[in-house]
Chains A and B, each alone.
Chain A
Amino acid sequence: MTAEAHIFRLDAVSKRYGVTVALDNINLSVERNEYVSLLGPSGSGKTVLLRTIAGFETPDEGRIEINGRDVSSLPAHERGIGFVFQNFALFPHLSVADNIGFGLANRNDPLPHDEIVDRVSDIIKLVGLEGLGARGVGQISGGQKQRVALARTLVTEPKLILLDEPLGALDANLRGRMRNELRAIRERLGVTFLHVTGSETEALAMGDRVIVLDRGHIAQFDHPDHVYSKPATPNVAKFLNRYNMFDGSISGSAFKSEYGDLAFIQKTKSDHPAYAVRYDRVAVDSDGSAGKGPSLPANFIASEYLGSSIMYFFEAIGGKVIEVEHHLSHGAPKTFEPKKSYRLRWKPEDAIVFG
Chain B
Amino acid sequence: MAVPAKTSSTTAWWLIAPGVIWMTLFLVIPILMIVYVSFWTQTTFKIESTLTLASWQQFFASDTYITSLFTTVRIWLIVLIATLVIGYPTALYVGLFVKNKTLSTILLVICVIPFWTSFLIRVLAWRPMLGKEGAINIILQKFGIISAPIEALLFTELSVIIGMTQIYCVFMVGPIAFMLGRIDPNIIEASRDLGAGFWRIFRKIIFPLSLPGVVVGAIFVSVMVLGEFATASALSGRKVNLLGNIIVTQVGSLKWALASVVGVILTIVMGIVVALFLRIVDLRREL
Contacts and interface: CB of A to CB of B under 8 A. Distances in A.
A7 interface: no
B189 interface: yes
B195 A93 contact: no
A93 B193 contact: no
Interface in B175-196: 184, 186-187, 189-196
Contact of A85 (B190, B195, B205): B190
Contact of A106 (B184, B189, B194, B208): B194
Given A91-B205, A106-B200, A76 B186 contact: no
B127 to A, nearest CB: 45
Given A85-B186, A102-B204, A106-B200, A91 B191 contact: yes
A108 B195 contact: yes
B197 interface: yes
Which bucket holds chain A's interface residue count? 20 to 34
A82 B193 contact: yes
A152 B195 contact: no
B190 A106 contact: no
Interface in A86-120: 87, 89-93, 102-103, 106-108
B196 A107 contact: yes
B194 A156 contact: yes
B209 interface: yes
A77 interface: yes
Contact of A102 (B184, B186, B189, B194): B194
Contact of A103 (B186, B187, B195, B208): B195
Contact of A76 (B189, B201, B204): B189
B88 to A, nearest CB: 18
A156 B195 contact: yes
A218 interface: no
Contacts, number: 61
A152 B184 contact: no
A87 B189 CA distance: 12
B190 to A, nearest CB: 4
Given A56-B189, A87-B186, A89-B184, A77 B194 contact: yes
B209 A93 contact: yes
Contact of A93 (B186, B192, B201, B208): B208
Nearest to B285: A138
Contacts of B195: 77, 103, 106-108, 156
B191 to A, nearest CB: 7
A75 interface: yes
B165 to A, nearest CB: 30
A113 B200 CA distance: 16
A284 interface: no
B194 to A, nearest CB: 3
A83 interface: yes
A103 B187 CA distance: 13
Interface string A243-264: 0000000000000000000000
A23 interface: no
Contacts of B196: 77, 102-103, 106-107
A72 to B, nearest CB: 17
Given A76-B189, A106-B204, A92 B194 contact: no
A108 B189 contact: no
A168 to B, nearest CB: 13
A56 B185 CA distance: 12
Interface in B198-251: 200-201, 204-205, 208-209
B176 to A, nearest CB: 16
A-B pairs with lowest CB-CB distance, top 9: A107-B195, A103-B194, A89-B186, A106-B196, A89-B190, A77-B195, A106-B200, A85-B186, A76-B193
18 contacts: A56-B189, A76-B189, A77-B193, A87-B186, A89-B186, A91-B187, A91-B204, A93-B209, A102-B194, A103-B196, A106-B195, A106-B200, A107-B196, A108-B197, A152-B194, A153-B193, A156-B194, A156-B195
Interface of B: 184, 186-187, 189-197, 200-201, 204-205, 208-209
